[in-house]
Structure 1
Amino acid sequence: MIRYTLTRTALLLVGLFVASVLIFLTLRVLPGDIAQLIAGTNSTPEQVAALREQLGLDRSLSEQYFSWIGGIFRGELGTSLLTGSSVASELAEKAQVTVPLGIMALMIAVLFSVPLGVLSAMRRGRAAGTALSAGAQAIAAVPVVWAGMMLVVVFAVWLGWLPAQGFPRAGWQDPWAALSALILPALTIGIIEGAMLMRFVRSATLQAAGQDFVRTAAAKGLTRNAALVRHGLPVVGLSIITVLGLQVAGIIVGAVVIEQLFSLPGIGRMLVADVSARDLPKVQGELLALTGFVLIVGFVVDIVHRVIDPRQREAE
């Protein structure tokens, strides 16, 4: 187990390094001059050159990269070129919206996808199972923006139960107002991601139903469904843990779109605004933080899966 953990840690560090290089180089090939953008259209070439030197844009790419990485090792993700604020402090502020949104969306996805996926598998070949499977496929194909708009029309416009857009200025000092502002966005992401997870749960449950230990339990007197629930679902649960790590990436991508649709002051909306403003140091800090979060979640999922699955330990 120690050897596996050290190996996965090394792979995590390599992944973070590769991600940082790709993010840095990708942002540098974008057209336009950030110094010219900040200085304005009426600036002189001398002013633009002085600003480039001040921002360090006149240095080589390798010098700029290692300067940025050195700051990360000191706990600094960089400073915004346009506002002069710390990227880390702004990420911490915006995370108060994005993190609860992601947690709520993941909970919604799991709460409805797991039982419905299992039920769809147990009712395979019947009307209920066919309807659940077809519904999951249809919902998974729905664009997240369209789903969000439909939820707004129903719950905000027609019923008036929830706010359509925005987040309270007081933030979480008013917990109910903050929670209400996140319910529709979380439902939008959770339903779409949950539909995809439901299809996986159904497939994993059907696969578990065909295993020898489930058939043996049924042969000893348990009904088929009872044998599946008692002996097959623990195996399905291990598979779900692995897939949830991938779901986190889908939720982050969904948050970028949903925060725009619902006017939420989260990381996704900030990232889109910073890309439009060509605030490169801030964008690369934000992208590295998000990428690192996804990689760390995958790392934790792998370790947890290794700890609770005796088959992997025995294989090692």
Structure 2
Amino acid sequence: MIRFLLTRVVLLAIGLLIASALIFFTLRVLPGDVAQIIAGTQGSPEQVAAIREQLGLNVPLPLQYLDWVGGIVRGDLGTSLVTGTPVVEELTEKATVTVPLALLALVIALLVSVPFGVLAALRRTTATGTAFAVTAQALAAVPVVWAGMILVIVFAVWLGWLPPQGFPRDGWEDPGDAIRSLLLPALTIGVVEGAVLLRFVRSATLEAIGQDYVRTAAASGLTRRRALLTHGLPNVALSVVSVLALQVAGLLVGAVIVEQLFTLPGVGRLLVTNVGNRDLEMVQGAVFVFTAIVLVIGALIDVLARALDPRQREAT
């Protein structure tokens, strides 16, 4: 197990290094010049050159990259080229919206996918099971923007239960208002991602039902449902855990879109805004954090799956 952990840590470090290089050099291909944006349309070439010199944009790209990676190791993601605010400070502030949104969406996705996925498998030959499977297939194909618009029309316009957009100015000083403002965005992400995960849960449950140990338990006097719940669900849980890393990536991408749709002051909206401003320090910091979260969670899920599944431990 220790050897596996060390190998996983090394692979994680290599993955983060490759991701950082791809993020840094890909962003430099984008058109536009932040120095020109800061100087404005009336800025002279001399002013633009002075700003470039001040921001260190004249330094060769490999040296800029090494300086940025060194900062990451020290916990410093740089400073915004536009506002002069430390990237870590700005991301930390915006994360107070994005992190609760993603966690709430994940809870909703699990509440949608796990019980209904198991039920769809148990009743696969009935109209109920077919309805669950078809509905999940349809919802998984719905773009997040459309899902958000439909939910706004239903819960904000028609029923008036939830605010259609925005976040309280005082933030989390009133947790009730803050949570109410996040419910529709979280539902938008959670329902779509939950439909995707439901299909995995259904497939894993159907596979578990066909296993010898479940059939043996059923032959011993247990009902099929009891046999599945007692002996099959641990394997279903392993399958669900294995796809959670992909779900986290979907949640983060969904958060970027949903924060724009619902005008939430989170990391996703910050990212989109600063792409337009050509604030490369802020953009590369936000994208790297998103990437790091996905890679770290993927590594943790690999470790968890290995710890829960004795077959993986015995394989090496």
Runs (4 or more) in structure 1 with deviation over 6 Å come to none
Corresponding residue for residue 280 of structure 2:
280
Matched to 2:311, the amino acid is R
Matched to 1:217, the amino acid is A
Separation in 1, partners of 2:281, 2:224? 58
Separation in 1, partners of 2:46, 2:148? 49
Corresponding residue for residue 306 of structure 1:
306
Separation in 2, partners of 1:248, 1:185? 16
- 1:247-270 residue CA offsets vs partner (Å, 9 max, x unmatched): 000000000110011110000000
CA shift at 1:238, angstroms? 0.9
Matched to 1:168, the amino acid is P
Q: What does 1:77-88 correspond to in 2, within 5 Å? A: 77-88=77-88
Q: What does 1:180-199 correspond to in 2, within 5 Å? A: 180-199=180-199
Separation in 1, partners of 2:85, 2:4? 40
Separation in 1, partners of 2:145, 2:204? 29
Matched to 2:278, the amino acid is R
Corresponding residue for residue 71 of structure 2:
71
- 1:76-102 residue CA offsets vs partner (Å, 9 max, x unmatched): 111111100011001000000000000
Q: What does 1:163-312 correspond to in 2, within 5 Å? A: 163-312=163-312
- 1:27-84 residue CA offsets vs partner (Å, 9 max, x unmatched): 1111122222221222222221121111111111111101111211221111111100
Separation in 1, partners of 2:162, 2:175? 14
Separation in 2, partners of 1:104, 1:133? 24
- Which stretch shows the higher mean deviation, 49-58 or 249-258? 49-58
Corresponding residue for residue 11 of structure 1:
11
Separation in 1, partners of 2:308, 2:234? 11
Matched to 2:73, the amino acid is F
Separation in 1, partners of 2:204, 2:165? 38
Q: Structure 2 regions of 5+ residues with no counterpart?
A: none
Separation in 1, partners of 2:77, 2:259? 23
| Partner SS for 1:42 | coil
- 1:167-198 residue CA offsets vs partner (Å, 9 max, x unmatched): 00111111000000000000110000000100
Separation in 2, partners of 1:314, 1:104? 36
| Partner SS for 1:229 | helix
| Partner SS for 1:76 | coil
CA shift at 1:215, angstroms? 1.4
Matched to 1:215, the amino acid is R
| Partner SS for 1:160 | coil
Corresponding residue for residue 59 of structure 1:
59
CA shift at 1:217, angstroms? 1.3
CA shift at 1:226, angstroms? 2.1
Matched to 1:162, the amino acid is L
Separation in 1, partners of 2:74, 2:130? 55
Separation in 2, partners of 1:62, 1:155? 51
In angstroms, what is the RMSD of aligned CA positions?
A: 0.9
CA shift at 1:211, angstroms? 1.0
Q: What does 1:20-59 correspond to in 2, within 5 Å? A: 20-59=20-59
Corresponding residue for residue 109 of structure 2:
109
Q: How many residues align?
A: 316
| Partner SS for 1:168 | coil
- Which stretch shows the higher mean deviation, 40-49 or 1-10? 40-49
Matched to 2:141, the amino acid is A
Matched to 1:20, the amino acid is S
Separation in 2, partners of 1:99, 1:48? 37
CA shift at 1:158, angstroms? 1.3
Matched to 1:12, the amino acid is L
| Partner SS for 1:218 | helix
Corresponding residue for residue 144 of structure 2:
144
| Partner SS for 1:292 | helix
Normalised to the residue count of structure 2, the TM-score between the two structures is 0.98
